[in-house]
Amino acid sequence: MTRGKHLSGEFFINGDVACAEGAIKAGCRFFAGYPITPATEIAERMSERLPGLGGVYIQMEDEMASMNAILGASWGGVKAMTATSGPGFSLMMENLGLGIMLETPCVLVNVQRAGPSTGLPTLIGQGDMMQARWGSHGCYGIIALSPSSPQDMFELAIKAFNLSEKYRTPVLIMADEVVGHMSEKVVITPSEDIELWLRRKPHVPPEEYLPYMADDNLVPPMAIAGEGYRFHATGLTHDERGYPAMTAEAHEKLVKRLIAKIEKNKEDIIELVEDGIEGADVVVCSYGISARVSKYAVELARKEGIKVGMLKLVTVWPFAEDRIRQIARQVKAIIVPEINSGQIALEVERCAGGATETILLPHMGGSVHHPNTILEAIRKVVR
């Protein structure tokens, strides 16, 4: 029914479908993936929608091949995406590193489930957050976004593609099973009202083009295969021409830039949602569906007269270090509910630097926190 149509308006859909529609609105016309619960609905939607929009859907033999396929498609000038869950995310890590080293714009969606290993395929987890930051070997910068609703899935898919094109890097959407499978009203914005960022192409003749010569923003323009430009793409440490450069000096220069192009621009990249933080005695800091549950607990605490603020991490990586440090100097404690044994709470504690207490509320997965667990933690801080 939707084949070949550019949708707009209000729809009752789940988060996975909303993510696919956001990617389509962002201009994604290539999807390669391998079925895995709870992300399969993204692939299914893209398989239905892309052929009618002049795009390509391909089911690969595994997740490693899927990640490689979207890298190749991106170098061919097409906006490309894949989607997976924990076990597949682990398999994609090597080629995620390749994409970072090649500075290839693309989007990787991880709809997290409870692990480790096969774990609970149909139930929620948030245990891949540190893997998102450090999962591939070596040093690099990464961008990871965390939706907490189907509407977020739609909007952050667009944002992820814009960031990937702007900073010439793979971008992660770290969703979770509940957000992926939750069905709600999603407003799909008309295409003409969506601002899209396209990668900068070189403005020099082909004979003068250096594919890894960065400007002041630390992001090199990107030529497209087949447009007459000669380039060499390798996962080896390379110079501005893209040729292997096997020296410590070349490696330091390249890797420092890969990190700095994210760090230098983090004010543009980081998105937070703050509610009632100024004057609060305690702040709840969370992300994904945990932020959704936390919001209700915060509302209950406020009805009891407790001064409590809420900080939702829409961007998890790069981490909002500066803002966390500011908040830590103002409150008695920062409470971090997350569906793992403690990952982002460690980052909050690091940034707080002893200025306030960081209270982890861990949950091993399979379900979300009960709001009363968060409410009781808030009460204990102010007693």
Q: pLDDT for 247-276, tens place per residue?
A: 999 999 999 999 999 999 999 999 999 999
Give the tens place of pLDDT for each residue, 239-251. Answer: 999 999 999 999 9
State whether 52 and 179 are in the same domain: yes
User: Is 217 inside a domain boundary?
Assistant: no
Per-residue b/e over 91-118, b at no fewer than 16 CB within 10 Å?
bbbebbbbbbbbbbbbbbbbbbbbbeee
- Type of residue numbered 299: E
Identity of the amino acid at 132: A
Say yes or no to pLDDT of 1 above 60.
no
pLDDT interval class at 25 (50, 70, 90): very high
Total domain count, the chain: 2
Q: Is the pLDDT of residue 213 over 90?
A: yes
Stretch 218-235: mean pLDDT, rounded? 92
Q: What is the span of the domain harbouring residue 350?
A: 273-382
- Residue 26's pLDDT is 98
Q: How far apart are CA 312 and CA 137, in angstroms?
A: 28
Does residue 39 sit in the same domain as residue 131? yes
Q: Dump pLDDT digits (tens) for 150-177.
A: 999 999 999 999 999 999 999 999 999 9
Does 292 share its domain with 164?
Answer: no
Predicted confidence (pLDDT) per residue in 54-97, tens digit: 999 999 999 999 999 999 999 999 999 999 999 999 999 999 99
Q: Does a structural domain hold residue 205?
A: no
Residue 45 has pLDDT above 90, yes or no: yes
Of 162, 193, 224, the one marking the end of a domain is 193
Which CATH number do you get for residue 279?
A: 3.40.50.920
Give pLDDT, residue 360: 98
pLDDT-derived band at 8, boundaries 50, 70, 90: very high
Identify whether residues 172 and 37 lie together within a single domain: yes
Among 193, 217, 251, the domain-final residue is: 193
Which of 154, 170, 193 finishes a domain?
193
pLDDT computed for residue 231 by the predictor: 83
Residue 200, domain member (yes or no): no
Residue 210 lies in a domain: no
Question: Is position 267 within any domain?
Answer: no
pLDDT value at position 149?
A: 98
pLDDT of residue 2: 65
**Residues 162, 280 within the same domain:** no
Whether residue 143 is predicted with pLDDT greater than 80 in this model: the reply is yes
pLDDT in tens, 172-204: 999 999 999 999 999 999 999 999 999 999 999
pLDDT in tens, 117-142: 999 999 999 999 999 999 999 999 99
Q: What is the CATH number of the domain that holds 167?
A: 3.40.50.970
Judge whether residue 237 has pLDDT over 70.
yes
Instruction: Dump pLDDT digits (tens) for 309-332.
Output: 999 999 999 999 999 999 999 999
Same structural domain for residues 293 and 185? no
pLDDT in tens, 93-121: 999 999 999 999 999 999 999 999 999 99
Confidence of residue 6 (pLDDT cuts 50, 70, 90): confident
Q: How confident is the model at residue 216 (pLDDT cuts 50, 70, 90)?
A: confident
Question: Does residue 64 sit in the same domain as residue 178?
Answer: yes
pLDDT in tens, 282-315: 999 999 999 999 999 999 999 999 999 999 999 9
Mean pLDDT of all residues in the chain?
97
For residues 27 and 162, state if they share a domain: yes
Confidence of residue 5 (pLDDT cuts 50, 70, 90): confident
Q: Is residue 337 part of a domain?
A: yes
In a domain, 148, yes or no: yes
